[in-house]
Amino acid sequence: MNARPIIIDTDPGQDDAIAILTALASPELDVLGITCVAGNVPLALTVKNARMLCELAGKPDQPVYVGCSRPMVRTLVTAEHVHGKTGLDGPELPEPTMALADEHAVDFIVDTLRNHPEPVTLCPVGPLTNIAMAIVKDPSIVENIREIVLMGGAWKEGGNITPAAEFNIYVDPHAAHTVFTCGAPIVAHSLDVTHLALMTDEWIESIRALGTAVGVASAEMLAFYERFDEEKYGSNGGPLHDPNVIAYLLEPELYSGKHVAVTIETGSEQTMGQTTVDWWNVTDVEANCLWISGVDADGFYRVLSERLGRYPLT
């Protein structure tokens, strides 16, 4: 079986962390690179966190790239109130020692899509700045994108950073517009689906009970991370957004959705970053996205448990 080549573009972030750890434990996926973007916390921290996660996974040779430090047009908005000052609050992880790749993340994305022998899947789980800048630098790279499977957006659920917008899209709505209009096949895991699969304390404790460095650190991250959403939504457990992208690649049958036209608001400050979903095709605008709207939540957490349970990797 040939592993599927992917690039994970990320702003770790505890939920990004579980997505990365799940991907690195999955031989079905060939993680060509982890590209970091400013989002949950400033770029210097997302880069540091990505390296700490690769070392936690026992993968100090995993290429990690430094990307864009701010959105294309707007001023950076971060989310320390959710993820903590470090962006990865919860565990005490050692300072990273692995080297960073020399190439800029945008150049790596362009070069990889120009030269990789088969189409590459892009997996953005943060603001879309790096992806959009790569498309602007060389629009022809879209021809070698197999899919863009992203975490972002909200429609039926409403926003989580403003009433209208989900964080990843809100931070860089102009990048989101560039991506959603580039013509590549897009699969969007929005809040509409991530809010259907909430963590439970029992599940987090089952991860801690793995007793491994990855299991314990993951549980410490998630225990910290879920407190915000539990308080916000008054729920027992919070959504675990980003790993849905990786679980979809591993077991797509866990998910269901609909091909729809999605447009990004970039004009009104009140609705900036809103993903407007033409669910009933009332505009006749051509569909540009598979909007995921259903998930087998038990199956999702089964996949995460099974993959996290593979650590330490041999």
Spatial distance between the Cα atoms of 140 and 114, rounded to a whole number of angstroms: 8
Q: Is 13 in the site for ligand RIB (CB under 6 A)?
A: yes
Spatial distance between the Cα atoms of 293 and 290, rounded to a whole number of angstroms: 9
**166, 220, 229, 265: which one binds ligand RIB (CB under 6 A):** 166
Residue 121 dihedral angles phi and psi, to the nearest 5°: -95, 125
One symbol per residue from 239 to 268: x for binding ligand RIB (CB under 6 A), - otherwise; what is it?
Answer: --xx--------------------------
Q: Is 241 annotated in the active site?
A: yes
The distance of closest approach from Cβ of residue 30 to ligand RIB in the complex, given in angstroms and rounded to an integer, is 22
Contact criterion met (CB below 8 Å) for 150 and 187:
yes
Q: Which of 14, 138, 32, 22 is nearest to 79 (CA)?
A: 14
Strands lying side by side in the sheet with 186-189: 64-66, 29-36, 4-10, 120-124, 145-151, 186-189, 289-295, 255-264, 275-278
Q: Is 125 in the site for Ca ion (CB under 5 A)?
A: yes
Q: Is 226 in the site for ligand RIB (CB under 6 A)?
A: no
Look up residue 301 and give its amino acid: Y
| Helix (H) or strand (E) segment spanning residue 301 | helix 297-308
Q: Is 173 in the site for ligand RIB (CB under 6 A)?
A: no
The distance of closest approach from Cβ of residue 193 to ligand RIB in the complex, given in angstroms and rounded to an integer, is 12
The distance of closest approach from Cβ of residue 76 to Ca ion in the complex, given in angstroms and rounded to an integer, is 14
The distance of closest approach from Cβ of residue 180 to ligand RIB in the complex, given in angstroms and rounded to an integer, is 16
The binding site for Ca ion (CB under 5 A) comprises 11, 13, 16, 125-126, 242
Residue positions annotated with a catalytic role? 241
The binding site for ligand RIB (CB under 6 A) comprises 11, 13, 15-16, 39-40, 125-126, 151, 160, 166-168, 241-242
